[in-house]
Structure 1
Amino acid sequence: MKNIKISYAILIIALTVLWLMADTILSSDYAFFTLRHSLIYYTGIIGIGMMSVGMMLAVRPVSIEPFLGGLDKTYRLHKWLGITALVFAIAHWLWAKAPKWLVGWGWLERPARQPAPEQTVDIFRFFQSQRGLAENIGEWAFYAAVLLIVLALLKRFPYRYFFKTHRLLAIVYLLLVVHAVVLLDFSYWSEPIGPVMALLMAGGTVAAFVSLFRKVGYQRRAVGIIEELERHADNRVLRVVLKLQDRWPGHAAGQFAFVTFDQSEGPHPFTISSSWQDDGRMMFLIKGLGDYTNILPETLQVGDVVQVEGPYGRFDFSSRKPRQIWVAGGIGITPFVA
């Protein structure tokens, strides 16, 4: 938990400092429209920066699991970044729109618009000619992002729909990258913030395409066959034993995997309830807590083909304390069963 807080803080602070180094806000006269100009860029940089890192975390990078404490912690950081991106995107939109409304209502007077300086760099000249298109793309992508992120945060939104709608954020992100690249202040590209933003958006773009082509966790997938099914009706727990047909790297106690019983439903995370004996067998204890898990006893059959992706997680039993007390209740007992 500590490391994800540190990572979150470092990202925001680093982007803020780099923006301050590139912008003129500290030496400006703090006139309203001058301040607006700077804050439009600041909110945009933080918004697309957070979303870029969140997009990269969404493809389940195993290499950072040890630092963050497992994929569950990685997804917690992903959620924080998504919420932050949403807040800054709304602020970005308000700084862009609200002053125009105030001018239209006669509550604010806009200074005379100065002609844009002639660009000598070909790519910047092209970007300048596409500003109107980029603004429209960004606005509609913003509306879509707000809707999709809010849906992702709704606990009552069914997972089977979340799984499908959340992938649409990859398309929205790519549109926002176009918006950001074209409209970023040209002077920023020659400052440290420029290469950093380029790197973040490049990484996010690659991650978005990985998601769209359904290659997330592709190298960590294995196919298995359901070997045993045992239903415990008294506590609504289904015991599922798989026989893996592909190579499996092994797993530690408490780790989990994404299991796909139905391609239309998508992968669901379940704790692996058996230790690895290098025999290709794996057990899951699945409690009927939702619409999908409730119907598994009726839909699954011995011999069904299953896809397993993993293992993930860092459930660490080690401690410097010689005596420990671990408490688990209900289906939360599964990590200890392993």
Structure 2
Amino acid sequence: MRKIKFLLWGFLGILTFFWVIAATWPETFSLLSTRSVMINFTGVLGVGAMSFTIILALRPVWLESWLDGLDKSYRLHKWLGITALVMSVMHWLSGNAPKWATSLGLLERPERGPRPDESALPTLQQWFNTQRDTAEFIGEWTFYVIVLLIALALIKRFPYRLFTKTHTLLAAAYLAIVFHSVMLMEYNYWQQIVGVVSGLLMAAGTIAAALILMGRIGRNRKVAGTIEHIDLFPELSIMETSIRLDDGWRGHQGGQFAFVTFDSKEGAHPFTIGSGWTPKDPCINFITKGLGDYTNLMIKNLKVGDKVTVEGPYGRFIFSDGKKRQIWIGGGIGITPFIARMKQIAHKPEDHAIDLFHAIPFEDPKAIQKLTADAKTANVQLHMLVDGRDDRLTGEQLRTEIPDWKEASVWFCGPAKFGESLKKDLIANGLKDRDFHQELFNMR
């Protein structure tokens, strides 16, 4: 999270600095005199944040190493989107509030001076000026569309299948905003660094938006496959699906995830991979729990022989921090990346001392038997915590049971608040922040 905040505020801070250098400041400050200043400032930050957001929507793998995974990139994508929304609202208010105040008699209507002679202006600037009315019209109506689409994206109850479709429309709306921004940006900005940076961001964003609209997100990372086996755990509402992949899969590491399309109408959903990888046996497993409408339907509707598409792998929850001592904590379905890692270690043993804590609502003999066998094969010390029988795992309990915990790295996957509580306790007692790794489940 620290890297996400650093990149977010650093990006906005640099754009602000470049704008301050280029800005023209009024001699006296008033609501009317600062109107154009605020319009320009919010416009630069708004289109900049929106451009970065669109670029991140392409799922750039090159950024994963720096941000610690695509799940972190999506969190940055979310906050940049919110920033773009806030800046857009402020931009809209900056343009309209003085007009409303004047119409209500709260401000005196400013006297209009003589229209400047545009004949001496550069030809390109003259053409830009002829497009102002069109650009303002497109910008205002696109603003209403963007507010609606971002609001829908932030409403968790809005169905995921509809979210993915409506979210794609933001790429088209972005192209309209680029036209609006290019035509209305202060002309002198284009000769300064703020204009150069904004132009590069909009150019990259335009390419990204075009790729999104053409359906090319992750296209070179998609592989077809066929469901080969389904194993059900009815008491836990869990299903393990084994998929035999066609040629083209790049291989994966335990702890990564993929976007899987089981139904073209539903679209791709992110699922953590629940198996290791051996090229000789190109199968990949996904362990899913019925937590919503779609995952519940999956358990009922999927069958052996169904065709699927798998896109990936993504993520940096891959246990490669150089620590020989590790502590794993999996809450509920958050056990999946640890199962994959144990299967990977079984194929290629490693010299690690590992303790795995797994919290479950109740004991399911079949699931426990499989997990125990995986742990034994990987030489992992398993600690099962059952609700109603054992106390909830706390930082104090973990520190008591693992005396050398300060020498370990901690890998957590499960409910966010549970992870935050453990992290706060362990860091307060001496664990380094960089040694606590947590995957962010929420992708929107």
C-alpha contact 2:253 2:318 (8 A) present in aligned 1: no
Match of 1:23 in 2: 23
Aligned ranges 1:153-168 → 2 under 5 Å: 153-168=154-169
Tell me, in whole angstroms, the C-alpha distance in 2 between the residues paired with 1:155 and 1:334.
23
Match of 2:182 in 1: 181
Match of 1:325 in 2: 327
Alpha-carbon displacement from aligned partner over 1:42-93 (angstroms, at most 9, x marks no partner):
0011111000000000010111110011000000000000001111110110
Letter of the 2:305 partner, please give it: G
Name the CA shift for 1:116/1:32 in 2 (closer, same or farther; >3 Å): farther
Structure 1 position 116, deviation (Å): 4.0
Alpha-carbon displacement from aligned partner over 1:19-47 (angstroms, at most 9, x marks no partner):
0111122x632243221111110001111
Structure 1 position 117, deviation (Å): 4.8
Match of 2:2 in 1: 2
Sequence identity percentage: 51
Q: RMSD of the TM alignment (CA)?
A: 1.3
C-alpha contact 2:175 2:209 (8 A) present in aligned 1: yes
Name the CA shift for 1:117/1:330 in 2 (closer, same or farther; >3 Å): farther
Tell me, in whole angstroms, the C-alpha distance in 2 between the residues paired with 1:117 and 1:79.
45
Letter of the 1:6 partner, please give it: F
Letter of the 1:180 partner, please give it: S
- What's the TM-score once normalised by structure 1's chain length? 0.97
Structure 1 position 227, deviation (Å): 0.7
Match of 1:296 in 2: 298
Tell me, in whole angstroms, the C-alpha distance in 2 between the residues paired with 1:113 and 1:174.
33
> Greater relative contact order: 1 or 2 (C-alpha under 8 angstroms, separation 6 or more)?
1
Tell me, in whole angstroms, the C-alpha distance in 2 between the residues paired with 1:318 and 1:286.
25
Match of 2:90 in 1: 91
Match of 1:309 in 2: 311
* Worse-superposed segment, 117-126 or 83-92: 117-126
C-alpha contact 1:222 1:246 (8 A) present in aligned 2: yes
Tell me, in whole angstroms, the C-alpha distance in 2 between the residues paired with 1:116 and 1:299.
69
Match of 2:287 in 1: 285
1:12 aligns with 2:12: yes
Tell me, in whole angstroms, the C-alpha distance in 2 between the residues paired with 1:172 and 1:324.
46
Alpha-carbon displacement from aligned partner over 1:77-128 (angstroms, at most 9, x marks no partner):
0000000111111011001001001111111023223424515322221110
Q: Secondary structure at the match of 1:275?
A: coil
Q: Secondary structure at the match of 2:33?
A: helix
Tell me, in whole angstroms, the C-alpha distance in 2 between the residues paired with 1:201 and 1:41.
16
Letter of the 2:79 partner, please give it: W
Q: Secondary structure at the match of 1:250?
A: coil
Match of 2:422 in 1: none
Tell me, in whole angstroms, the C-alpha distance in 1 between the residues paired with 2:79 and 2:197.
21
Structure 1 position 280, deviation (Å): 1.0
Aligned ranges 1:5-154 → 2 under 5 Å: 5-25=5-25, 28-114=27-113, 115-118=115-118, 120-154=121-155
C-alpha contact 1:225 1:305 (8 A) present in aligned 2: yes
Tell me, in whole angstroms, the C-alpha distance in 1 between the residues paired with 2:3 and 2:234.
41
C-alpha contact 1:3 1:68 (8 A) present in aligned 2: yes
Letter of the 1:11 partner, please give it: F
Whichever of the two has the greater Rg, that structure is 2
Letter of the 1:89 partner, please give it: S
C-alpha contact 1:224 1:246 (8 A) present in aligned 2: no
Tell me, in whole angstroms, the C-alpha distance in 1 between the residues paired with 2:237 and 2:58.
32
Tell me, in whole angstroms, the C-alpha distance in 2 between the residues paired with 1:156 and 1:117.
55
Tell me, in whole angstroms, the C-alpha distance in 2 between the residues paired with 1:116 and 1:292.
61
Letter of the 1:65 partner, please give it: E
C-alpha contact 2:328 2:338 (8 A) present in aligned 1: no
Alpha-carbon displacement from aligned partner over 1:151-176 (angstroms, at most 9, x marks no partner):
10011111011011101111111111
Aligned length: 337
Tell me, in whole angstroms, the C-alpha distance in 2 between the residues paired with 1:217 and 1:15.
29
Alpha-carbon displacement from aligned partner over 1:208-247 (angstroms, at most 9, x marks no partner):
1111111000111101111111221111111110111121
